[in-house]
Every structure is written in C-alpha cells, then in structure tokens.
Amino acid sequence: MKFLVGTDMERVSRFKSFAADEKKLRRIFSEYEAAYALKKPRPEETLAGFFCAKEAVSKAAGTGVASLLKNEIEVRHDVGGRPFILLHGDLAERFSGWTADVSITHCGGLASATVVLYGGGL
C-alpha cells in the first residue's frame, strides 16, 4: 500500500472576498462547498478550511492548482458532519481505488488541513 501526504495552511482573512463574490467563489469551490460555507456565521473560515483541504490533496497527488480550478477536488461531509474528499474527473480516474482522509482545523485567524491518500496496491 502506498501513502501520500499533503498539508496546507492559509490565513482566513484571505477568503472574506470569496464569500462576497459569486464569480470568485465558483472558480474554486463547488456548489455544495459554497452553499455549506455560506450557511455558516463565518463563511470565510469554512472556505479557508476547504481550500486548505483541496490544496493538501493537490500536494499529495502532485497535481498543482490545476485540479482546484477544474473542481476535481471537493470537500463533502458525511451524516455525522465529518469531512471527506470526493475526487472528480482525471484525478478521480488516476486515484481510482484510493482513499483520501482529511483533517481540517482553524484557530487564531489561520486554517489548516492535512490529507492522507492511501491505496495503489503493494
């Protein structure tokens, strides 16, 4: 089994403008992510966490920001509220059969996420 790890940290304040600009929001965030974040009292905090998770996946996968702009990486939540990663497009094909675990946190004006991709056989 192979393990790939990525992590990212961003300033939450950087994402205030995303919550107020639909075009900017849709460039990086899926419909689900945008709707989920905009329901929160501080949407910029949630968006920063989502961005960190997406960036962490792209770092682990070695894809760079192209996969973010094509919305190939999406953060969703299970029924208990736990975040998980959903891959789309070329990235989903490349990592078919792999699992992506994610941890997202924010504190003191910063957001961070760590992702572990695992699979790929022996």
Residues 6+ apart with CB under 8 A from 93: none
Neighbours of 95 (CB within 10 A): 19
Q: CATH for 2-119?
A: 3.90.470.20
Looking at residue 19, its amino acid is A
pLDDT tens by residue, 53-64: 999 999 999 988
Looking at residue 121, its pLDDT comes to 63
Distance CA 67, CA 62 (A): 10
> What ranges do the domains of the chain cover?
2-119
Q: Which of 2, 39, 59, 70 is catalytic?
A: 59
Active site residue 2: no
Whether residue 71 is predicted with pLDDT greater than 70 in this model: the reply is yes
Residue holding tokens 């969703």?
76
Query: Which position has the higher pLDDT, 75 or 1?
Result: 75
Looking at residue 2, its pLDDT comes to 93
pLDDT tens by residue, 23-41: 999 999 999 999 999 999 9
Active site residue 59: yes
What is the reported pTM? 0.94
Distance CA 85, CA 80 (A): 15
